[in-house]
Amino acid sequence: MSPLSPLPTLPTLSPQTMPAGQSAETVSCLEAPTAAVQQIFSSVQGEGPYVGCRQIFVRFNGCHLRCRYCDTPAQPAQAPCLVETTPGSGCLESLPNPVAADTMLYWLSRLHRQARHHSVSLTGGEP
């Protein structure tokens, strides 16, 4: 496998560069996208076509479906996000929710630099 290229940075909008008809509130929202996240961690995929491959998992919060087979019960949105600091270590750091997109990119990049990962799995949550 070839090394991954650096993760992109998020664009920053200013009143001079925002599309016509959008307000400052829209720009503020676009500058800092966030999500309610339960966990970010490294693990070996246990099912599907990537079984046996090391992946980074981003487990989102907020699903309301209550499926009987679900292994991730919903947490309150304000509960902290737990991030594994070193792949496979189980050592966790707590981040406040909601988590900013650039913070997620930082942790994804950090985990990937420490150990080769096949892909990122986005799981949990429900729109």
The count of other CB atoms within 10 Å of the CB of residue 105 is 14
For the segment 9-44, what is each residue's pLDDT rounded down to a tens digit?
Answer: 444 445 555 555 555 555 455 567 999 999 999 999
Residue 8, both tokens? 């992109």
Residue partners of 96: CB distance under 8 A and separation at least 6:
80, 81
Q: Is the pLDDT of residue 55 over 90?
A: yes
Q: Is the pTM of this model over 0.75?
A: no
Cα-flanking dihedrals φ and ψ of residue 40, to 5°?
Answer: -130, 120
Q: Is the pLDDT of residue 105 over 70?
A: yes
Residue 73 is predicted with a pLDDT of 66
**At 64, which amino acid appears?**
H
Residue 100 has pLDDT above 70, yes or no: yes
Domain edges within the chain:
40-124
Is the preceding omega at residue 98 within 30 degrees of 0, hence cis?
yes
pLDDT at 2: 42
